[in-house]
Amino acid sequence: MNDTRANATHSTGRQQYLAVEEFFYFFLRLRKNEVRRTVRELELRWPDDDLDTRARRATNAKLGLSLLGGTLLRAPLLFPGLGQALKLAGVVGAGSMLVRMHLYLIMEVACIYGEDIDDVARVPEMMAVIAATGLGAAAPSLLESFNLAPVYTVPANALSMAAVTKLIGVTAARFYGSGAVVPEPDLATVAA
């Protein structure tokens, strides 16, 4: 009886995992082979880098795109006559791009530190990234309560999204790096 309940729970968990995987693939176009390819490219370009430096490189490579995405989230507000449909298209397009970019970032950092990106343990981590992206995009909306012109909220949103990107990258490196094997320092450099 107990085994049947455990198998049912395991089966339900597996179905939920598959549903989440399909959501990430079909709606957010998350391709794990692209994540692996990017990490391999980092390893080939900078073979002498330690894991922390590779993670920083992956994070810093996304900062320009996050600035652009943050700008695009609020840019339609600069043109009040464009209408709600164009504003919504800008928000949806930039929002999905930012979420996808942050999901790729956390997967790349996990892969850099040798984590299995196919493991179901990545799903809650990815959900946390989606939440962080949403909070980062919503934070500059607080400026609107001060009746500031959109010319001020657009750069604030760009900087907010860049800060979220940096925060996600640094936090992921700390999280995954805590279990990573740290290479022993070279005795020659320690003595010098």
Span 146-160, pLDDT tens digits: 877 778 888 888 898
In a domain, 183, yes or no: no
In a domain, 189, yes or no: no
In a domain, 164, yes or no: yes
Q: How many domains does the chain have?
A: 1
**180, 81 contact by CB (below 8 A):** no
Domain coverage including residue 44: 32-178
For residue 101, CA distances in Å to 7, 9, 11, 112 come to 36, 33, 31, 16
For residue range 47-104, list pLDDT tens digits in order: 999 999 999 999 999 999 999 988 888 777 777 776 566 667 767 778 888 988 999 9
In a domain, 153, yes or no: yes
In a domain, 169, yes or no: yes
**140, 156 contact by CB (below 8 A):** yes
For residue range 34-51, list pLDDT tens digits in order: 899 999 999 999 999 999
DSSP code at position 85: H
In a domain, 7, yes or no: no
pLDDT recorded at residue 142? 76
In a domain, 22, yes or no: no
For residue range 67-78, list pLDDT tens digits in order: 998 888 877 777
pLDDT recorded at residue 187? 44
Task: Please report the sign of the dihedral spanned by the C-alpha atoms of residue 18, residue 19, residue 24, residue 27.
Answer: positive
DSSP code at position 50: -
| This prediction's pTM | 0.75
For residue range 114-144, list pLDDT tens digits in order: 998 888 788 888 889 988 988 887 777 777 7
Cβ neighbors of 39 (< 8 A, separation 6 or more) are: 54, 58, 108, 111, 112
In a domain, 23, yes or no: no
For residue range 166-190, list pLDDT tens digits in order: 999 999 999 999 854 444 445 444 4
For residue 19, CA distances in Å to 1, 6, 15, 81, 130 come to 27, 20, 6, 40, 16
